[in-house]
Structure 1
Amino acid sequence: MKTSKRLDLAVNKLYNAFHNNALHPECCKQCAVGNILDNKDSWKHLSDHHGATELNYIGKVHQTLGRKFNGYTPLELLQIEATFLKACGYQIPLHHKNKKPKNPTDKDILFNGLTEVVTLLCELDNIPNIMNYTALFKKKNTYQFDLTFFT
């Protein structure tokens, strides 16, 4: 399956972050978007709250100018982060009073978040979900048996 360069890079960065224990939902440099953007936190200035899906003035300016960050628009970045946080069990936007997981760096929690993020990244690029593993279990009958021998 052919994928886009931005998807390949994003998935590779998220994969490495996951396996190197460099993924943390509450850190702007180590969250899903932080990792996609090379562990920089400048993206946090696109909205007023971590996990918000609404662009602030700065975000709207960048969006209107057609700016992209590692291939993603400001609005796409906010969607990616919101998807990640929700799938990890957070109530968004992040706030100390809102619901959050007891252990945000639990591998199962992070895996759930990354699965949803990869699904969204595929949707953004209009390609089939690369995380869809059901095709692996579809068995194609390639063998023909002559059962008349046994009768």
Structure 2
Amino acid sequence: MILLAVGLAGGWLVPGCTTYRDPVTGQEARYRFETLRAELDLPIRTVYTAAKRATSELDLRSTRAAQDGLAGEIRAVNAQLETVDIQVGALPGGRTELSIRVGVFGDRDKSIVLFESIMANLSAPEQLAAVPSLRWDEKPLESWR
């Protein structure tokens, strides 16, 4: 009986992990600990630009935006005065980690709406044209070990 009570209490205290797949691009993201995270096969500058455009398209009021070659952050506020935090980080091989958190306690649905908007911007023709491509004789970097 005690184990059952501890198990139930632990289930309420520890949030579960759910996986979401963007219907347009097929890109997978995981929602865990009130944050939506995805690893994208695109350079950090491209992902940051798409995220910045998504905040503008969704009429979020940007309060901070900064980016360099290693990391970037966009902080905004929505109409309900919830903070919207978008962070991008460079990964080896020209990849980028994207994380989205809406509100203090996280809002899965709003995070997914923002993720879908970012992915739509990344699949736009002008964004794809800006992504550097390999020459036919170049090989992509292998994953770092």
TM-score (norm 2): 0.34
Name the structure where helix makes up a greater proportion of residues: 1
Larger Rg: 1
TM-score (norm 1): 0.33
Name the structure where strand makes up a greater proportion of residues: 2
User: Larger relative contact order (C-alpha < 8 A, sep ≥ 6)?
Assistant: 2
